[in-house]
Amino acid sequence: MNNDQLRVAIMQPYFSPYVGYFRLFAAVDIFVILDCVQFPRRGWVHRNQFTKKNDSLDWLTLPIKKCSQQTVIKDLEFDSLYKLSEFHESIAKFNLSALMSEAEIADTFDFTIPVIDFLEKGLTIASEKLDLHARIIRSSSFSLPRSIKGEDRILEILKLVNATQYTNLSGGMNLYNYNVFCQNGIDLKILTPFLGNKTGIIERLKVTPYSEIRFEIKDATKFLNLEVI
């Protein structure tokens, strides 16, 4: 990489994302947490799949307080009443309850902090354990107007951080136009689909050596050739 290149990824902050998500941290210099967009109720910001004690996968959902459809990710709040006790009853059904001490569970699932702090903390801890050193920035720090949406919002953030390259997961194939990015002086990179284990990173870090996960990330950090698609 030339000294004047700046590789950037912009993604919603997932709750305990799978290993393939962390390829973004391995491929860029700056990771922008996209927290200034509408909370996707059917997405991965507030839930993920973990192994239950019968070895089946099931959803573990964070105790998010009920909010309007217009709520953006940075404004999410934890429900400190009945959903909190419901969450701790749920986690007892998963292998995590046996893999982690009570102190680790209390620290990992600390709902006394804002949701966005909780999500960033999870990404930071996992990336540090995996020796990934992309700088983390929140998109909300740029105070962009809500009227700037979709691809235009991504491009605006990239310009604000002086990015020369934008990296996204394979789902970005359906979201972004290669030529539009080129016209804006930004090289669009899309990672190949991830074919490995998609269990949440909290569980993976408990059952798999960090070195193996690092190799898994490095081995799968490959890009599609967009110019010939």
pLDDT digits 0-9 by tens, 139-157 = 999 999 999 999 999 999 9
Q: What is the mean pLDDT of residues 48-59?
A: 93
- CA dist 160 and 142 (Å) reads 8
Among the listed ranges 9-18, 85-94, 162-171, 201-210, which one has the minimum average pLDDT value? 85-94
- Return the pLDDT at 1: 43
Take residue 77 and report the two structure tokens written for it.
């709040």
Pairing relation of β-strands 57-61 and 47-51?
antiparallel
- CA dist 226 and 229 (Å) reads 5
Contact 36, 76 (CB under 8 A): no
Take residue 168 and report the two structure tokens written for it.
């996204």
Q: Where are the domains of the chain?
A: 7-228
% residues pLDDT > 70 (the chain): 97
CA distance to 45, 49, 73, 97, 124, per residue, from 118 (Å): 11, 18, 12, 19, 10
Q: Is it the case that residue 3 has pLDDT exceeding 60?
A: no
User: Quick one: 108 exposed, middle or buried, by C-beta within 10 A (0-12, 13-18, 19+)?
Assistant: middle
Helical (H) or strand (E) element with 91:
helix 82-91
- Would you put residue 16 in left (φ > 0), alpha (ψ -120 to 50) or beta? left
Quick count: other Cβ atoms within 10 Å of Cβ 227?
Answer: 8
- Return the pLDDT at 84: 75
Backbone angles phi, psi at 31, to 5 degrees: -110, 115
Q: What is the mean pLDDT of the chain?
A: 93
Q: Is it the case that residue 226 has pLDDT exceeding 90?
A: no
User: Quick one: 153 exposed, middle or buried, by C-beta within 10 A (0-12, 13-18, 19+)?
Assistant: buried
Band (pLDDT 50/70/90 cuts) for residue 228 is low
Take residue 142 and report the two structure tokens written for it.
């740029």
CA distance to 31, 32, 97, per residue, from 161 (Å): 11, 10, 41
b/e map 185-220, b = 16+ CB within 10 Å: ebebbbbeebeeeebbbbbbbeeeeeeebbebbeeb
Q: Is it the case that residue 204 has pLDDT exceeding 60?
A: yes
